[in-house]
Amino acid sequence: MGARRKAWIVACFLLPNFLGFVVFTAGPVVFSLGASLTNWNLQRTTPTRYVGLANYVELSRDDQFWTYLVNTAYFMIGMPFAIAGSLFLAVLLNQRLRFTTTFRTVLYVPAFTSGVALMILWKALYNPDFGPINAVIEAVLRTIGLGGLEAPQWLLSTRNLFGLDVERLGVVREQFGLGARDALIFMGIWTGVGGGNMLLYLAALSNVPSELTEAAALDGASRWECFRNVTWPQLSPTTFFIVVMSYIGGLQGGFEQARVMTAGGPAGTTTTLAYYIYTKAFEEFQIGYASAVAWVLFGVIFVVTVLNWRFGNRETNLL
Amino acid sequence: MRVFFVAVLALMLVWTVVMGRLGGESVDPGRTPLVWTSDDNPLRKEQVALFNRLHPDLNLTLDPANQGMEKVIVQSIGGVGPDLFDCRDANQLSAYVKAGIALDVTDELRGMGIDVLGETWPAMRSVAVHEGRVYGVPTNIGANALWVNQDLLPRGVVLPSGAWTWSEFIALAQRVTRRDQSGRVVQAGLLFDWYNWPHFLYGFGGRVFSSDGTRCVIDSAEAVQAVSLMQDLVYRYKVTPSPVEEAGMAGQGGWGAGNINLFGAKRGVFALGGRWWLANLRKFDGLRLGVVESPHGTRREFGAVGRATLVNANGPRRTEALRFLSYLASPEYNGLVNDQADGICAFARYAQGDAFEHNPSYPAEDFNLVWRSVSARAVAPESSPYVNGQLANRLIERQLDLVRIGQKMARDALRDAARDINREIARSLDEDPALRERWEAARGPNR
């Protein structure tokens, strides 16, 4: 078979997928870049025309955009805890214990349970009056003699760990506490700990040569030293991958939670950039502006990922 | 491995053929298909079935999956849109008209003897009429009144047969509100949803926009009075559960969230809502329902929602689609809406007479005249051509969220909402010189 004929055959096999990619992925992406340079509004309050970078300039002055960007970043606070938790679980499940397979299955439940079902469940758990979480908190407060303190109102409260103001960027004393943002973070940590990251760590742990840890142990290393100096470096490519993917997922995330649990409230405190894009495009029909927000979000993700690659993979022994 | 892939491929082909034969409704070749994009409401199916029975040469199907405004516009412009689609407010109607997909049916309706402006409730005209031209027929109206759980009323309480004020109501609501030893509400005097803020606003003569639509006036004294009342009902008079208490009530006993369910479970003596609640309330056993007019502030006006159905100007079956509009104005359709309690019918003349007042199928429902009365006094949701309606709503509701959870006073919240909306109006004017000209003409030289 000639090289040219072979190339044609390869091209024919690739063409359906390539066409699908161009039509359904690359095309809309390029289209949205074009849309972000227009004032396209489905409600047609103004005629659609090219506005250059006006949407981007507008966006830089949009208080809500900055608030929601901060919200998005805030929700990522839970990420290191979720990653550490999944590593911890993976290490536990990597031990040769009875019922390990059962534990692995049970701990993977959050990953294959419907997200919406989980969110409705968590909404009930966060019920300020009758939710089990507040029941425990109130019992603990009473036990330590702080029964007068009020338990958090979770999804109904604008308070947060850093005291971020609701309507503008800044910190105010009245906002310190636990509220809707933190509720979603805790739920995210729970979901993240037992999910795909745990499986990735489990797979990586099974690839760590046992001779290395055995040799270290023979040299007198404690279990912690074995983990810190032998296992952990071996896991660094996996950790790097998980961190990069978590950053990307975190920056794109928050939509489902906002849609199902809080409608982005109270007062926009759980609105992330992903939900803001949806609101702008499909509730307010400002397609041009929403496209601009989407491209800025893409830019943020791109920069964060590049920084991760630039500085994060120094510790890995993969690249 | 090769056998495996071939087998999978063959299986998928067979499956496709089987599903293709099973799926999709078979359309009688003698009947013209029509597609109506509306919500996925069980009541809608009966309305479609009745139309098909009355028009055996047509086959109307419901397409709830494509009812989003952006889908309707894009598909209709692309020539694959539905024959008929719903419109829920003046902003949407304006968008459909400007997109060129709403068929101007003024002359056709006149030819069929249908007078939308003269025969439908005033509040519903803005969803069908744009700049003097008629683009559709209103399908129903959902004006608010006060539902009453008769069994929870103390003996001797006589409810008004007509108008009453909020101060009269609050005294009664405080009497019937019950709390347990820890202070939690076990029986609310009044249940209402905060998305009903326009109802309170109109009852005090407040408006979102000035009459010319050029500026937001939701910071007016009347509006502040209305929203302050909403906050006071929760935190001062304590007749309505706070958000925390409401979540607690919904969480107890498995009643589910939402005021309809709480009211149906007898957790509220009064509840502000539309006649469309009946579609759910009829499913609760042992409810003895009553309806009275909602209390009012300085004006006897009430909030309302509703829909109109429009014909796709680019649709290939416009003539057939017009027959659906004729159906919407018919006694059969309007009677069905009244029976189903899909609000009440949009054509006022069908909301009267013995069959309406005392429906033999629902003899206990002797309150239909109240719905008629409040529909006549209902105010249409407002819009301004100078700002996106959904955006304005979001900016208001964001502030009302803070009022609702007791973090902000009504005056401050509405001042900020008005500031934000007026800023958006200014932004729209900067974007579009033609709009600015229109705005300046509307404002007049001396303002």
Q: Do residues B155 and B103 both lie within one domain?
A: no
Strands B378-379, B302-311: pairing kind:
parallel
Answer whether A266 touches B (CB < 8 Å). yes
Residue type, A107: L
Task: Identify which of B86, B79, B96 has the alpha carbon closest to the alpha carbon of residue B64.
Answer: B86
Residue of B nearest to A282 (CA): B70
Residue of B249, B431, B436 to mutate, testing the A interface (most A Cβ within 10 Å of its Cβ): B431
Task: Identify which of B136, B140, B110, B141 has the alpha carbon closest to the alpha carbon of residue B325.
Answer: B136
Whether the predicted pLDDT of A319 surpasses 80? no
Tens digit of pLDDT for each residue in A286-317? 899 999 999 999 999 999 999 988 887 666 65
Whether the predicted pLDDT of A179 surpasses 90? yes
Tens digit of pLDDT for each residue in B163-177? 999 999 999 999 999
Average pLDDT over residues B58-64: 94
Answer whether A173 touches B (CB < 8 Å). no
Beta carbons of A286 and B402 less than 8 Å apart: no
Among the candidates B281, B302, B323, a domain finishes at B302
Which pLDDT score is estimated for A145?
87
In chain A the domains, ranked by start, together with CATH numbers, are: 36-312 (1.10.3720.10)
Partnered with residue B187 across adjacent β-strands are B178
Q: Do residues B156 and B297 both lie within one domain?
A: yes
Does residue B418 fall inside a structural domain? Answer: no
E strands, B31-72, are 32-37, 58-62
What distances in angstroms separate CA A90 from CA A222, A237, A242, B65, B392, one per listed residue? 19, 16, 14, 43, 49
Give dist(CA B292, CA B163) in Å, integer.
9
Residue of A13, A40, A42, A62 to mutate, testing the B interface (most B Cβ within 10 Å of its Cβ): A42
Rg, chain B, Cα only:
24
Task: Identify which of B304, B253, B256, B303 has the alpha carbon closest to the alpha carbon of residue B280.
Answer: B256
Which pLDDT score is estimated for A2?
83
Tens digit of pLDDT for each residue in A33-81? 999 999 988 776 677 889 999 999 999 999 899 999 999 999 999 999 9
Tens digit of pLDDT for each residue in B76-91? 988 999 999 999 988 8
Beta carbons of B248 and A130 less than 8 Å apart: yes
* Mean pLDDT, chain B, whole residue set: 91
Residue of A nearest to B432 (CA): A46
Q: Do residues B50 and B133 both lie within one domain?
A: yes
Partnered with residue B138 across adjacent β-strands are B308
Give dist(CA A28, CA A298) in Å, integer.
14
Tens digit of pLDDT for each residue in B322-345? 999 999 999 999 999 999 999 999
Q: Do residues B158 and B283 both lie within one domain?
A: yes
Give dist(CA B410, CA B394) in Å, integer.
16
Give dist(CA A35, CA A50) in Å, integer.
9
Does residue B196 fall inside a structural domain? Answer: yes
Beta carbons of A285 and B405 less than 8 Å apart: no
Tens digit of pLDDT for each residue in B150-166? 999 998 888 999 999 99
Partnered with residue B148 across adjacent β-strands are B270, B290
Residue of B98, B246, B419 to mutate, testing the A interface (most A Cβ within 10 Å of its Cβ): B98
Give dist(CA A145, CA A155) in Å, integer.
26
Does residue B421 fall inside a structural domain? Answer: no
Whether the predicted pLDDT of B1 surpasses 80? no
What DSSP element (H or E) covers B269? strand B268-274
Yes or no: say if A231 and A208 are a contact pair by the CB < 8 Å rule: yes
Yes or no: say if A158 and A166 are a contact pair by the CB < 8 Å rule: yes
Whether the predicted pLDDT of A1 surpasses 80? no
Does residue B420 fall inside a structural domain? Answer: no
Query: The domain that contains B255 carries what CATH number?
Result: 3.40.190.10
Which pLDDT score is estimated for B422?
97
Residue A279 CB-density burial (10 A; 0-12 exposed, 13-18 middle, 19+ buried): buried
Q: Do residues B162 and B297 both lie within one domain?
A: yes
Give dist(CA B341, CA A290) in Å, integer.
39
Which pLDDT score is estimated for B250?
66
Domain count, chain B: 2
Answer whether A47 touches B (CB < 8 Å). yes
In this complex, the residue of A51, A128, A286 whose CB is nearest that of residue B247 is: A128
Answer whether A134 touches B (CB < 8 Å). no
Q: Which of the two residues, B34 and A97, has the higher pLDDT score?
A: B34
In this complex, the residue of B69, B98, B394 whose CB is nearest that of residue A279 is: B394
Answer whether A238 touches B (CB < 8 Å). no
**Chain B interface, Cβ < 8 Å to A:** 68-70, 73, 91-92, 94-95, 98-99, 184, 243-245, 247-248, 251-252, 385-391, 394, 398-399, 401-402, 404-405, 407, 416, 427-428, 431-432, 434-435
Which residue carries 């639509």 as its tokens? Answer: B213
Q: Do residues B105 and B173 both lie within one domain?
A: no
Range of B330's domain?
30-142+304-379
Give dist(CA B270, CA B206) in Å, integer.
24
In this complex, the residue of B70, B427, B432 whose CB is nearest that of residue A285 is: B70
Which residue carries 């006094």 as its tokens? Answer: B377
Task: Identify which of B215, B217, B219, B223 has the alpha carbon closest to the alpha carbon of residue B198.
Answer: B223
Tens digit of pLDDT for each residue in B376-410? 999 988 889 898 888 899 999 999 999 999 999 99
What distances in angstroms separate CA A277 from CA A97, A256, A295, B235, one per listed residue? 47, 13, 10, 35
∠ CA A161-A164-A169, nearest 5°, is 155
Give dist(CA A139, CA A136) in Å, integer.
5
Three-class SS state of B425: helix
Three-class SS state of A84: helix
Does residue B411 fall inside a structural domain? Answer: no
Which pLDDT score is estimated for B251?
58
Beta carbons of A283 and B390 less than 8 Å apart: yes
Whether the predicted pLDDT of B426 surpasses 90? yes
Q: Which chain B residues have a beta carbon less than 8 Å from that of A124?
A: 251
Which pLDDT score is estimated for B27?
63
Q: Do residues B148 and B275 both lie within one domain?
A: yes
Strands B185-191, B133-134: pairing kind:
unpaired
Answer whether A57 touches B (CB < 8 Å). no
∠ CA B153-B303-B380, nearest 5°, is 160
Beta carbons of A285 and B95 less than 8 Å apart: yes
In this complex, the residue of A45, A58, A286 whose CB is nearest that of residue B385 is: A45
Which pLDDT score is estimated for B336?
95
Answer whether A130 touches B (CB < 8 Å). yes
Answer whether A42 touches B (CB < 8 Å). yes
Q: Which chain B residues have a beta carbon less than 8 Å from that of A133?
A: none
Q: Do residues B47 and B131 both lie within one domain?
A: yes
Beta carbons of B407 and A166 less than 8 Å apart: yes
Q: To the nearest whole percent, how much of chain B has pLDDT over 90? A: 69
Three-class SS state of A216: helix
Residue A224 CB-density burial (10 A; 0-12 exposed, 13-18 middle, 19+ buried): exposed
Which pLDDT score is estimated for A47?
78
Give dist(CA B177, CA B239) in Å, integer.
6
Q: Which chain A residues have a beta carbon less than 8 Å from that of B386?
A: 45
What distances in angstroms separate CA B71 from CA A42, B68, B404, one per listed residue? 10, 5, 34
Beta carbons of B399 and A267 less than 8 Å apart: yes
In this complex, the residue of A42, A130, A279 whose CB is nearest that of residue B70 is: A42
Give dist(CA A266, CA B398) in Å, integer.
8
Among the candidates B327, B362, B379, a domain finishes at B379
Which pLDDT score is estimated for B245?
85
Residue B29 CB-density burial (10 A; 0-12 exposed, 13-18 middle, 19+ buried): exposed
Yes or no: say if B126 and B77 are a contact pair by the CB < 8 Å rule: no
Partnered with residue B85 across adjacent β-strands are B37, B310
Cβ–Cβ contacts within 10 Å for residue A233, how many? 15
Beta carbons of B435 and A46 less than 8 Å apart: yes
Which pLDDT score is estimated for B383?
87
What DSSP element (H or E) covers B428? helix B410-431
Beta carbons of B251 and A130 less than 8 Å apart: yes
Size of interface A-B (CB pairs under 8 A): 98
Yes or no: say if B294 and B363 are a contact pair by the CB < 8 Å rule: no
Q: Do residues B288 and B157 both lie within one domain?
A: yes
Give dist(CA A207, CA A84) in Å, integer.
19
Whether the predicted pLDDT of B142 surpasses 80? yes
Answer whether A267 touches B (CB < 8 Å). yes
Q: Do residues B187 and B39 both lie within one domain?
A: no
Whether the predicted pLDDT of B256 surpasses 80? no
Q: Which chain A residues have a beta carbon less than 8 Å from that of B87?
A: none
Beta carbons of B252 and A267 less than 8 Å apart: no
Ranges of H-type helices in chain A = 3-21, 27-35, 54-61, 63-75, 79-93, 100-107, 109-112, 115-125, 132-143, 180-193, 196-206, 210-218, 223-226, 232-252, 255-257, 273-278, 287-307
Cis peptide before A266 (omega within 30 of 0): yes
Give me A116's structure tokens: 């919406």
Average pLDDT over residues A201-225: 91
Which pLDDT score is estimated for B254?
45
Average pLDDT over residues B185-205: 95
Does residue B413 fall inside a structural domain? Answer: no
Q: Do residues B154 and B217 both lie within one domain?
A: yes
Whether the predicted pLDDT of B28 surpasses 50? yes
Q: Do residues B188 and B274 both lie within one domain?
A: yes
Phi first, then psi: give them for residue A272, nearest 5 degrees.
-105, 175
Does residue B400 fall inside a structural domain? Answer: no
Answer whether A249 touches B (CB < 8 Å). no
Does residue B47 fall inside a structural domain? Answer: yes
Residue of B244, B421, B425, B438 to mutate, testing the A interface (most A Cβ within 10 Å of its Cβ): B244
In this complex, the residue of A44, A46, A282 whose CB is nearest that of residue B68 is: A282
Task: Identify which of B332, B359, B207 has the alpha carbon closest to the alpha carbon of residue B275.
Answer: B359
- pLDDT band, very low/low/confident/very high, at B183 (cuts 50, 70, 90): confident
* Mean pLDDT, chain A, whole residue set: 90
Answer whether A157 touches B (CB < 8 Å). yes
Among the candidates B325, B345, B379, a domain finishes at B379
Answer whether A279 touches B (CB < 8 Å). yes
Task: Identify which of A230, A229, A237 has the alpha carbon closest to the alpha carbon of residue A201.
Answer: A237
Return the sign of the alpha-carbon dihedral for residues A120, A126, A127, A133: positive
Beta carbons of B391 and A128 less than 8 Å apart: no
